[in-house]
Amino acid sequence: MSDKPLEGQIAVVTGASRGIGAATAKALATTGAHVIITGRNVKDLEAVEDAIHDAVGTSTIAPLDLTESDSIGRLAHAVAERWDRLDILVISAAMLPTLTPVTQIEQNQFSKAITLNVLATQALLAAFDPLLKRSPQGRIIGLTSSVGAEPRAFWGAYGATKAAFDNLLLAHGQEIGRISETRVAVIDPGATRTAMRARAYPGEDPQTVKPPEAVAERITALLVDGFENLHRERVEISA
């Protein structure tokens, strides 16, 4: 197999300024994809791009806030003008509201989480669907959490958004499964060394959980090897 199995493919990775999104962007670029890296922090995106270029990969920075009403449409338009298609969409961006009992959920935070984790996901699917259908084999991978399928005390706000996230992605996969070559996968990274997990588990030794690169490696392998539509899995890798 070529050491650049994704050569020539165009990928968009959201939440690519750090954590799993950044690691995935780097991994995809290493395998030959041109990666459009999105996030709100320009400095962090530039650091990711520098790492990609140092590894002789290619990328384009697209700083944006997915919660802004027209940002996703602008991004899709820019991709369409430059490449006329999209081969890979990795939806990694997410917000974790403060962990609290359901009766004490802070409405402003909950609203922001719904906007990013749910509404922006639907907007991404809608905006990029035509471009993914122009790819010989468009692929969508969404990063979820186990609390979306298995409710957990104090995680109600985040879990509710991830349950909706899963539902949107898998419903979309069913809708397009017989009319296009686009395939959808939902991946639960499991315990991973990210800033989000550090906020949720402040007393945890980060070295006891796997690094983001382990999840990125699995995502890249799925994209290289291929997966069936509506694929779901949890990444279980020891630290």
> What domains sit in the chain, N to C, each tagged with a CATH number?
10-234 (3.40.50.720)
Using the predicted structure, report yes or no on whether residue 1 has a pLDDT greater than 60: no
161: tokens are 């958004």
Phi, psi of 139, rounded to the nearest 5 degrees: -135, 135
pLDDT band at 3 (very low <50, low <70, confident <90, very high): confident
CA distance 165 to 121: 7
Q: Which residues are catalytic?
A: 158
For residue 173, the tally of other CB atoms under 10 A from its CB is: 21
Using the predicted structure, report yes or no on whether residue 211 has a pLDDT greater than 80: yes
Q: Is 38 exposed, middle or buried (0-12, 13-18, 19+ CB in 10 A)?
A: buried
pLDDT 10s digits, 74-101? 999 999 999 999 999 999 999 999 999 9
Tell me the pLDDT of the chain averaged across its residues. 97
| DSSP 3-state of 26 | helix
Q: What is the pTM of this model?
A: 0.97
Helices 19-30 and 212-225 pack at an angle, to 10 degrees, of 40
In the predicted model, what is the mean pLDDT of residues 143-172?
98
